Structure 1
Amino acid sequence: MTSIQVADDAFVAASVSLAGAVVGDRARWRRWWPDLTLEVTQDRGDEGVRWRVGGPLTGTMEIWCEKRLDGFILHYFLHAEPTTALPTEPRAWMDATAELNRIRRVAGKAMAFEVKQTVEGGRAAGEPAARKAAIA
């Protein structure tokens, strides 16, 4: 089992065809994960991207956009190990890995909310799903 395990998702009320331009934008990757080195292992277009992760972590990461109802579910997965040594004392190890997981979970949520905000284009709750991007 890896020390860092993040799995999260968010519903986006927009056409999945709008996801590719945002999720595939390498400049956004730099903002979302400034300390990570990302190597694309599978570009799935509108359905997402899979990466090999380097830098302070080594492992894999994925964004998967799954068409659902009138929008899509943005799934985010990160499975990695820190490249610096973790404490060996059990309690200290648990505290350290919990904090590393929290940091990566928060970064994943920020990414998901940016994708949601960008492709929904200011859509109010209860309105139909966005079909055209308001990509900024």
Structure 2
Amino acid sequence: MPVPSVDVVDETFLAVPPAVVATEFAVPSRWPLLWPDLDLQVMADRGVEGIRWTVRGALVGSMEVWLEPVLDGTVLHYYLRADPQGPDGAPRPAPPRRAAAEAMRRRLAAKAIAFACKDRLEAGREPGEPPG
């Protein structure tokens, strides 16, 4: 199986339990706010362990949020493996420079989503304090 032209992996630690982080991704009406150019269909809903989607729209492939309990919080793992959508709706691998630019754009967007969750869910928690 060929490697997709957009292959993004990200991890962010949040000092809150996985069940709290899971609520951030559990509501389908929020997905277009987080990924406005992607149409997501649930492939596997693993509850407090995360969600895996098939992706269509600007990209065609798969995306996953995996929530791993670590210490007193959660590591939010994010994976996106996709290719740009061609005119016929099928995935079309991007040329290397375009693929690299798209992967960087998606990587920055993933980190922005993770940090927004972190800010919202850890609000009021002082560094070193246990999760609320």
TM-score by length of 1: 0.85
Partner of 2:89: none
CA contact (8 A) 2:18 2:74 kept: yes
Extract unaligned runs of 5+ from structure 2. Answer: 87-91
Partner of 1:68: 70
Structure 1 residue 6 and structure 2 residue 14: aligned? no
Q: CA deviation at 1:110?
A: 1.5
Q: CA deviation at 1:86?
A: 6.1
Partner of 1:25: 27
Q: Which amino acid aligns with 1:46?
A: V
- Looking at structure 2, the residues matched to 45 and 80 of structure 1 have their Cα atoms a distance apart, in angstroms, of 23
- Looking at structure 2, the residues matched to 23 and 113 of structure 1 have their Cα atoms a distance apart, in angstroms, of 14
Extract unaligned runs of 5+ from structure 1. Answer: 88-92, 131-136
TM-score by length of 2: 0.87
Matches within 5 A, 1:1-136: 1-84=3-86, 93-130=95-132
Q: 1:46 to 1:3 in 2, by over 3 A?
A: same
User: Identity percentage over the alignment?
Assistant: 42
- Looking at structure 2, the residues matched to 118 and 129 of structure 1 have their Cα atoms a distance apart, in angstroms, of 13
Q: Secondary structure at the match of 1:100?
A: helix
- Looking at structure 2, the residues matched to 111 and 25 of structure 1 have their Cα atoms a distance apart, in angstroms, of 15
Q: CA deviation at 1:121?
A: 2.8
Aligned length: 125
Q: CA deviation at 1:94?
A: 2.2
Q: CA deviation at 1:20?
A: 1.9
Across the aligned residues of Structure 1 and Structure 2, the Cα RMSD in angstroms comes to 1.5
